[in-house]
Structure 1
Amino acid sequence: MGAAELALLEKELQRRLWEKRWARWTPYPWQVPPAHIPTLGWWLQLGGRGTGKTDGCARYMVAHVNGPPCDERLRGGHRMAIIAPTQGDAVEACVNGPSGLRAHDPRVTLRTTAGGTFARWPNGAEAKLFGAHTPDDVERLRAGGNRCLVWFEEVAAQRRLKDAITHSEMGLRIGANPHYIASTTPKPRTELIELTRRDDVIVTRGRTRDAIHLPQAQRDHLMRKYAGTRIAAQELDGQLLEDIEGALWSRALLDTTRVGAAPPLARVVVAMDPAATSGDESDEMGIVVAGLGTAYLPDRNGTSRRHGYLLDDLSGRMPPVAAARTAIRAYHQHQADAIVAEVNNGGEWIGTVVRQLDPTVNYRTVHASRGKLTRAEPVSAVFEQHAAHVVGSLPDLEEQLVTWVPGDDSPDRLDAAVWGLTALMLAPAGNVAAVA
């Protein structure tokens, strides 16, 4: 048997394997797509962990490719897009992952060319992969070409979600019914809340407790551990939580004070709040970049003052050396005046590691002599006075701001933001100590 015949046989075996898998698949009720999605409308799956949101969207896209062509002139009849938090997430989750396109149709191939990265089918249909994290990602979307279908993966985790929606919508013009499909574990993002209120967005919802393909022991463990908490409502039951009663910040306040870009800055700090524990859900290293404007601008009361700006959120779960490297990199990138670290909660190591890695860094410490509520309230008040602003979108930090209620353990991103703006705008000179 020659090479050409072997290639044909392999393709035929792949086709049969795909058809066999396809026939065996039984969807959850929330994975069943609506009979019709309006033009430029959405099918939005909101669900807890393990509810098959990615799986449902991947199957929909495969069915779309194997359905009627959206444009007979196109090879394969379809040009689509997949937009994930990063392009790497699109590759890992949407194409190669256990619930991705290739799990539903092994004939899908992944190709990277000068024009970008594409998932391609044997008939010539393709889906271009995008991220929505950096300004460069937005520019790629701006020039992303025309599409008949756009899949948004993990909508609530996309840092530049608003821009991603705007630019993708401009290119949704192939065929008689271009539209979106989307999947996400919900978070209180303004854009996501607005989507759920639109008449042309069809929402289906799934709960982890009902995801029978997950082991029962795992579901029971998660429900026991988080029952009655906000984590259970959002991450397991797929509820879209809005403003929390008693929280010091609201989404409306953050949106009202939000700016698209920072003005010229007089000072910049990289604020660090060390992780308190290991292995817990809150075990993150808070790393937030904050700046103080040079100009004196009126606040809500008409008083001229310098405004504060939250520029970047680099927080995450990482070992101490990686955290210090991240902070040092941000220090140089933003031409910061100092790295400011809280040392009450086991953070003494930060200064030692920073000095070992880069002795040129100006490092300062802050000491928590007051409770978290007492520290956070003045910073919240600066926002209420419209003298502090989020630059662009910092979704994970914003979620912590709008959901933290005094009395609960405050999360590390929020703490780092409070330390940064306090050091720039509110701290008496003696409360921020220089370290040689």
Structure 2
Amino acid sequence: MTVTDLRGRLSGATDAELALLEEKLRDKLWQRRWNAWTPYPWQVAPAEIETLGWWLQLGGRGTGKTDGCARYMVSHVNGPPCDERIPGGHRMAIIAPTQGDAVEACVNGPSGLKGHDPRVVLRTTAGGTFARWPSGAEAKLFGAHSPDDVERLRAGGNRCLVWMEEAAAMRRLGAAITHSEMGLRIGKNPHYIASTTPKPRTEIIELTRRADVVMTRGRTRDAHHLPQAQRDKLISKYAGTRMEKQELDGELLQDIEGALWSRARLDTTRVGAAPPMARIVVAIDPAAKGGDESDEMGIIVAGLGQAYIPDRNGFARRHGYILDDLSGRMSPEECMRRAAQAYHAWKADAVIAEVNNGGDWIGTTLRQIDQTVNYQTVTATRGKATRAEPVAAVFDQLAAHIVNAFPELEEQLVTWVPGDDSPDRLDAMVWALTKLMLAPAGNLAAVA
């Protein structure tokens, strides 16, 4: 039958007949994709998940962690109902670093739910954003980035399955686990599945030690669905480094010998909310030359508390607080726009920036975007390790604190060893706390 013949036969079909045909075609396409899937061993849920509470996939880049979890959720939906009173028998949740990540990676992406079951549709209603199946089963999408995200999880409702995507990248991972766990109570075996590239987060380390967590691990070098040339390029580039172990081999690295910060110290000094501030700065550590979006721009907001609080040695002093991390890969214009917005949002006293490494562009660009910002420059006269050590000492004295959690910044702190190239988030934080707590008067130059 030709396309013309098919169009002719369908021209007289009713809307109901066309809808039924579409449904049957979707069913056939789903079955074809479902049967064609060849998993890696680490993408298959262990049998123990039927009795335990967690399946945690730890894997390097390109090992199909999202793919494995999406496959599992589709299988769960098409299995026995967890509660026959619920439409479709299943009521689930997907939590990602942001809700947008949940939409892009877990539903619409090539490894997401639609890639395994094209019958899935994405719907946004007054109650939230949902992935839905023709049976009526649904998965509500959540983020774990802002305080509002945590509040939505509090009211997330009861679920039979929770999928946590890139758990180690969630800013509020602990709160996401706590509040989703309270709603995990539908069916005989409500449980979690989680997929992540491992990072030295307290919550991830604790999960790996729990008796109710079963883990699978995958390495980039074994991901044969990736082009061999790409695997060879990544492995040769990062061979022998921490990046190879963590990002490619999926190893969970904990404290690094020689690092100035430890995970335990960050957790000891962590606070859940910031007190009233006496001063606030927005510190920028620019990418080299300011024009390469492949490098990160470090943007850290930090404050000096009003109250005098005893430190570890009993000396009453004002403490420093890391309030926000706005760093990322971006253009110079976006970097300055983000810094200016933070300056006004936090009612900061100044934006400060390092100008040694091609940072002269910062003042010019910032003035073009917002002339009202109080801009100051810093010039490095000492090595990075020498600048960072006093700031690390302030943490050791229990006088500096991270407010809530900033996973990317914290990973840099606990894995950087003096002598290595220091990352931009860490550098920006060092400049901020140096300005607030350590710099003598006149050490910074104000730019009119």
TM norm structure 1: 0.98
**Cα distance 1:16–1:279, how it changes in 2: closer, same or farther (>3 A)?**
farther
Q: Which amino acid aligns with 1:72?
A: E
Match of 1:180 in 2: 192
Structure 2 counterpart SS, 1:81: strand
Shift of 1:255: 0.2
What percent of counterpart residues are identical? 80
Which of 237, 248, 271 in structure 2 is aligned with 1:225?
Answer: 237
245-254 vs 37-46, greater mean Cα deviation:
37-46
Give unmatched runs, 5+ long, in structure 2: 1-12
The answer (yes or no) to whether the contact 1:47–1:186 under 8 Å persists in 2 is: yes
Q: Does the alignment pair 1:18 with 2:33?
A: no
Q: Which amino acid aligns with 1:196?
A: T
Structure 1: 4+ residue segments shifted above 3 A: 277-282
Q: Which amino acid aligns with 2:250?
A: G
Q: Does the alignment pair 1:317 with 2:326?
A: no
Tell me, in whole angstroms, the C-alpha distance in 2 between the residues paired with 1:98 and 1:54.
10
Q: Which amino acid aligns with 2:240?
A: G
Q: Does the alignment pair 1:47 with 2:59?
A: yes
The answer (yes or no) to whether the contact 1:132–1:159 under 8 Å persists in 2 is: yes
Tell me, in whole angstroms, the C-alpha distance in 1 between the residues paired with 2:233 and 2:142.
35
Tell me, in whole angstroms, the C-alpha distance in 2 between the residues paired with 1:391 and 1:307.
12
Superposed CA offset, 1:163-220 (max 9, x none): 0000000000000100000101111111111101101001100001100100111111
Match of 2:447 in 1: 435
Which of 410, 418, 421 in structure 2 is aligned with 1:409?
Answer: 421
Match of 2:143 in 1: 131
Tell me, in whole angstroms, the C-alpha distance in 2 between the residues paired with 1:242 and 1:119.
36
Structure 1 counterpart SS, 2:247: helix
Shift of 1:352: 1.2
How many correspondences in the alignment?
Answer: 436
Shift of 1:239: 0.6
The answer (yes or no) to whether the contact 1:270–1:340 under 8 Å persists in 2 is: yes
Alignment of 1:98-177 (within 5 A): 98-177=110-189
**Cα distance 1:134–1:36, how it changes in 2: closer, same or farther (>3 A)?**
same
Alignment of 1:61-72 (within 5 A): 61-72=73-84
**Cα distance 1:99–1:277, how it changes in 2: closer, same or farther (>3 A)?**
farther
Match of 2:7 in 1: none
Tell me, in whole angstroms, the C-alpha distance in 2 between the residues paired with 1:7 and 1:283.
49
Superposed CA offset, 1:260-303 (max 9, x none): 01100000000001112689898211100000000000000000
Shift of 1:433: 1.1
TM norm structure 2: 0.96
The answer (yes or no) to whether the contact 1:40–1:178 under 8 Å persists in 2 is: no
Q: Does the alignment pair 1:335 with 2:368?
A: no
Match of 2:315 in 1: 303
The answer (yes or no) to whether the contact 1:40–1:180 under 8 Å persists in 2 is: no
Superposed CA offset, 1:343-396 (max 9, x none): 111111111111221111111111101110110000000000000000000110
The answer (yes or no) to whether the contact 2:285–2:427 under 8 Å persists in 1 is: yes
Superposed CA offset, 1:309-354 (max 9, x none): 0111100111111000000000001000000111111111111111
Alignment of 1:250-329 (within 5 A): 250-276=262-288, 283-329=295-341
Which of 49, 66, 71 in structure 2 is aligned with 1:59?
Answer: 71
Match of 1:422 in 2: 434
The answer (yes or no) to whether the contact 1:277–1:283 under 8 Å persists in 2 is: no
RMSD: 1.3
Structure 2 counterpart SS, 1:410: coil
Tell me, in whole angstroms, the C-alpha distance in 2 between the residues paired with 1:87 and 1:67.
26
Q: Which amino acid aligns with 1:339?
A: V
Shift of 1:39: 5.9
Structure 2 counterpart SS, 1:406: coil
The answer (yes or no) to whether the contact 2:282–2:348 under 8 Å persists in 1 is: yes
Tell me, in whole angstroms, the C-alpha distance in 2 between the residues paired with 1:418 and 1:287.
11
Shift of 1:36: 3.0
Q: Does the alignment pair 1:83 with 2:95?
A: yes
Q: Which amino acid aligns with 2:400?
A: A
Q: Which amino acid aligns with 1:344?
A: N
Tell me, in whole angstroms, the C-alpha distance in 1 between the residues paired with 2:290 and 2:238.
18
